[in-house]
Structure 1
Amino acid sequence: MGTENRKGPLKDVKVLDFTIALAGVYVAWQFADMGAEVWKVERYGSGDQARTWDPFVNGLSTLYTAYNKNKQSIELDLSSQEGKQVIYDMVKEADVVLENFKSGSIDRLGLGYEELKKINPKIVFVSLSGFGATGPLKKYPCYDAIAAARGGFAGSNGEPDGAPMKAGNANCDTLTGTHALNAALIGLIQARKTGEGCRVDIGMMDTVMISCGETVVDYGKGTYTQSRFGNHDRFTAPYGIFEARDGWAVIIADSEERWAKMCDALDAGHLKDDPRFADNAARIANRDSLVEELEKVTVTYKRSEIEKRLTEAGVPASEVLPFIEAYTSEHANSTETTTLVDQEKIGQMRFYNNPIRFNDELCPIWRGAPLLGEDSREILAGLGYSEEKIDQLFADGVVGSSMI
């Protein structure tokens, strides 16, 4: 599929993408959304591991599809010398390389940074892994839940007397991907200024830990050790999720003025007069009693009523929306959160738009996720390979297009 519909601030950037796990795939997705030409290199005969993950529609993994729009796929045997030569030719044209193999794997393939920078000194080479390139854990596999566990995130989530709790979505993966994208863009700026690229190393566990940056300061000073607080904040009350008649609502009364306004808006003046809740310090000391008494009030209202009453009074509040309600909400529709795209094998499929806008314009979705090897011929032709050479690479099992 041609790339003539690409546009965006990174339209002149080419990305060579070896990633197979979500953190790296997320970086490539962001590059693609911003207009970069992303060449997704997939294993000959099998492709990205996510292609095999449930659920499926018409034989295509919807998980794979969700995170690979706007990319191009080339199916390649990296174990062959001819396959490596294709990569070397791609590197000559590329600005960024992304990889998240096990530590050292890409070097053993002869495709590591030290090798590729000989071909293109300006290359920005980004390695994502669970535990980074150093340290005793570097050789071990890591998934989102493991990064959350090792980084302290899971241990700080959940009810005080309950089990640690992982997030419902892959937050550690996407947070790591966001940091890696920032690093890659900084590397690109440096390369264009100096003519020299760089190698970026980023580990998921480190990213998780830095997202809770204040905890290490608290611990180092001996003032506080983070523990689980469930649905409520550790330093402010009320600040959390409260039961409503038909679900749940978030209420944040983070000043004495807002506390008084909250009580008035919910017709709960008796709470304002209760000495146990006289100020924030007292409310923190009596948090369990506060939650119990406040929920006696909130369960008499629908969650939408709580939101309306409090926001009109100047108190931050929101319904807790199930996914389908969030997805179809008036606000989501008015801000074009999603777009219908024609996806090969599936048909019309709804994708999330990138939340970043440039000059008030959405990053365009110019294609759905590529089929395995869908763009192999086009990419090779763009590198200057003759039709005869391309046919020979296919015949030799170096390059494929398994899903075409």
Structure 2
Amino acid sequence: MTDRPTGPLSGLLVADFSRILAGPYASMLLADLGAEVVKVESPAGDDTRSWMPPLREGVSTYYLGVNRNKRSVALDLKDPGDLALAQELAGRADIMMENFRPGGLTRYGLDYDTVAAANPKVVYASISGFGTTERGRVLPGYDIIVQAMSGLMSLTGGPDTGPFRSGISVFDVMAGLHATIGILAALHSRDEDGRGQHVEVNLLATAMSGMVNQTSAYAAGGVVPVRMGNSHPSLFPYEPLMCADGELVVTAGNNGQFRKLVEVLGVPELADDPRFSRNEDRTANRDLLRPLLVERLMTRPKMEWFREIIGAGVPCGPINDVGGGVAFAQEIGQEPVVEVGEGEAMVPSIRNPITFSETPVDYRLPPPGLDEHGDEIRAWLREPVVSTPLDHGESRDHAEGGDE
């Protein structure tokens, strides 16, 4: 392992003023791809440092999950000296990220207009809960609130249950991904015209887009979707079905897959039954078809059916817990867990899902302790010569106040 970034974003500096999940996840993805990320924390640290259990050697695994490949500096923006360092970092950055409440950085001179005036090349990414409109900007944006207000919770659960939140902070993760996409697009645009720009993402807009077919059902069809448990509104079978020893998720996304499925189950005549021959028929008559499929599946254990149904080219799979999911990824050769750091500082981490043929992802640094790199970052920011951080030893031009 090397401390020098080698990925496709090597040479870019990210000033990361974000915290909790959406922003740190995005900045970690950029760091995995080679960007140098300086994580700016308050003296109290990122909120997720205290979000536990679970924990590893006293450190929150939530925090560990989204903060590798970064360096941490603790700066109190209310302290004039620390604020000057924060402004200097923003002036040198290729990318600045923040998820303060809209307008919250203006009083510190760290808002987009002020930073861009001194650093016109900066790509400045803001993540908020409900956007920057007069009514949206005052609303605090936690993922569960957006899940509730967007309608997602109304879709999660069964017909006879109350609404549930998703098992992960799904819109925080999606917003982080959208922010990353926006940053990369803005960097490409900067390559064309030399100018940075402001990239804005909010969780509610992310939810509207991320619910895809469900929000489209309302926008394009006037249909308000409802909770259907594990069933799909537009496909059948596409859900867990009971076998002799438990459930197996079985899907048939088209007529060909359905024909293969019923052949494996020993009831090929169902493929030509006019009640089930087309997907729209199977979906309309799911309550008739489901017991016919379950009757056959109940004759054998789920893993026997899994091997046969998969062998026929029909998607299916058992329902694992998270440990089983990681183990399955390992079983099929994906090596989902990587070791970041060495010796006592080593932290197991989930592999970045992107692979490159020429500029591979690397895992240089374990998630930093609070202000772990504070001394070297402060010293670097006080240097009159702008160079890439930190100990890489290569000079590189960054936009600073008065230089453009």
Aligned partners of 1:71, 1:88: CA distance in 2, in Å?
19
What is the DSSP-based 3-state SS (H/G/I as helix, E as strand, rest coil) of the residue aligned with 1:329?
Answer: helix
Q: Does the CA contact (< 8 Å) of 2:6 and 2:359 recur in 1? A: no
User: Aligned residue for 1:186?
Assistant: 185
Decide which moves more: 102-111 or 296-305. Answer: 296-305
My pick for the range that moved more, 328-337 or 165-174, is: 328-337
1:49 is aligned to 47
Checking the alignment, whether the CA contact within 8 Å between 2:345 and 2:366 is kept in structure 1 is no
Q: 1:285 to 1:232 in 2, by over 3 A?
A: same
> 2:223 aligned with 1:224, yes or no?
yes
Q: State the match for 1:23 in structure 2.
A: 22
For the 8 Å contact 2:252–2:314, the answer to whether it is kept is: yes
Corresponding residue number in structure 1 for 2:58: 59
For 1:107 and 1:245, how far apart are their aligned partners in 2? Answer: 62
Q: Answer yes or no: is 1:375 the counterpart of 2:380.
A: no
* Number of the residue aligned with 1:398: none
Distance (whole Å) between structure 1 residues aligned to residue 342 and residue 145 of structure 2:
32
Offset, 1:383: 2.8
**Equivalent position of 1:238 in the other structure:** 237
Is 1:318 equivalent to 2:317 in the alignment?
A: yes
State which drifts further: 312-321 or 70-79: 312-321
Give the deviation of 1:214 after TM superposition. Answer: 4.1
Map 1:269-288; keep pairs closer than 5 Å: 269=268, 271-272=270-271, 276-288=275-287
Q: Secondary structure at the match of 2:256?
A: helix
Rounded to whole Å, the distance in 1 between the matches of 2:92 and 2:222 is: 53
> 2:355 and 2:87 mapped to 1: Cα distance?
34
Q: Offset of 1:362 from its aligned partner?
A: 4.5
Partner of 1:334, secondary structure, is coil
Q: Does the 8 Å CA contact 1:73/1:373 hold for their aligned counterparts?
A: yes
Q: In the alignment, does 2:74 pair up with 1:71? A: no
Q: Is the 8 A contact 1:133 1:201 kept in 2?
A: no
The answer on whether the counterparts of 2:90 and 2:110 sit within 8 Å (CA) in structure 1 is: no
Relative to structure 1, the CA distance from residue 115 to residue 3 in structure 2 (aligned partners, 3 Å threshold; closer, same or farther) is: farther
Asked if 1:176 is matched to 2:191, the reply is no
For 1:298, the aligned partner's letter is: L
Q: TM-score, normalised by structure 2?
A: 0.87
Once the two structures are superposed, residues 147-183 of structure 1 have per-residue CA deviations (whole angstroms, 9 ceiling, x without a partner) of 1222222222222333222211121111110000011
- Size of the aligned set, in residue pairs, is 383
Q: Which amino acid aligns with 2:149?
A: R
Instruction: Name the amino acid aligned to 2:349.
Output: F
The aligned counterpart of 1:4 is: 3
8 Å contact kept, 1:41–1:73: yes
State the Cα RMSD in Å. Answer: 2.4
Shift of residue 382 of structure 1? 2.5
Q: Name the structure 1 match of 2:135.
A: 136
Q: Secondary structure at the match of 1:31?
A: helix
| Bigger shift: residues 279-288 or 194-203 | 279-288
Would the alpha carbon gap of residues 247 and 366 (structure 1) be closer, same or farther in structure 2, given more than 3 Å must change? Answer: farther
Q: Which residue of 1 aligns with 2:206?
A: 207
**TM-score between the two structures when normalised by the length of structure 1:** 0.87
Report Cα offsets for 1:314-372 as digits up to 9, x if no partner: 2122222221111112655612221123478x654321110111117641111110011
Contact 1:15 1:38 in 2 (8 A): yes
Q: Distance in 1 between matches of 2:276 and 2:21?
A: 45
Q: Which amino acid aligns with 1:318?
A: G
- Aligned residue for 1:69, secondary structure, equals coil
Counterpart of 1:57, as a letter, is R
Bigger shift: residues 295-304 or 314-323: 295-304
For 2:22 and 2:105, the matched residues in 1 are separated by 17
Structure 1 residue matching 2:73: 3-state secondary structure: strand
Structure 1 residue aligned with 2:146: 147
Instruction: After TM superposition, give the deviation of residue 204 of structure 1 in Å.
Output: 0.3
Residues 67-111 of structure 1, C-alpha deviations (whole Å, 9 max, x = no match): 101000001111111111101221232101100112221112321
Cross-structure match for 1:118: 117
- Show the counterpart of 2:388: none
Seen in structure 2, the aligned counterparts of structure 1 residues 229 and 362 have a Cα distance that, compared at 3 Å, is farther
Task: Structure 2: give runs of 5+ residues left out of the alignment.
Answer: 385-404
- 3-state secondary structure, aligned to 1:363: coil
Give runs of aligned pairs for residues 331-342 of structure 1, distance below 5 A. 331=330, 334-342=333-341
Q: CA deviation at 1:378?
A: 1.4
1:171 and 1:164 mapped to 2: Cα distance?
15
**Which sections of structure 1, spanning at least 5 residues, go unmatched?**
387-404
Moved more, 270-279 or 91-100: 270-279
Residue 42 to residue 333, structure 1, CA distance change in 2 (3 Å)? farther
1:21 Cα deviation (Å)?
2.3
* Alpha-carbon distance change, 326 to 11 in structure 1, aligned in 2, over 3 angstroms: same
Distance 1:130 1:294, change over 3 A: same
How far residue 220 of structure 1 moved from its aligned partner, in angstroms, is 4.1
- My pick for the range that moved more, 293-302 or 168-177, is 293-302
Supply the distance in 1 between the matched residues of 2:72 and 2:257 (Cα, whole angstroms). 53
How many Å apart are 1:274 and its aligned residue?
A: 6.0
Tell me if structure 1 keeps the 8 A contact 2:346–2:366.
Answer: no
Q: The residue matched to 2:105 in structure 1 has which SS?
A: helix
Q: Structure 1's 86 and 5: CA in aligned 2 closer, same or farther, altered over 3 A?
A: same
The SS at the match of 2:14 is strand
Q: 1: CA distance between counterparts of 2:56 and 2:254?
A: 50
**Any idea what SS the aligned residue of 1:283 has?**
helix
**2:246 aligned residue:** 247
The one-letter code of the counterpart of 1:125 is Y
Query: Judging changes above 3 Å, is the alpha-carbon distance between structure 1 residues 220 and 119 closer, same or farther for their aligned structure 2 residues?
Result: closer
Cα 1:146/1:299, change in 2 over 3 Å: farther
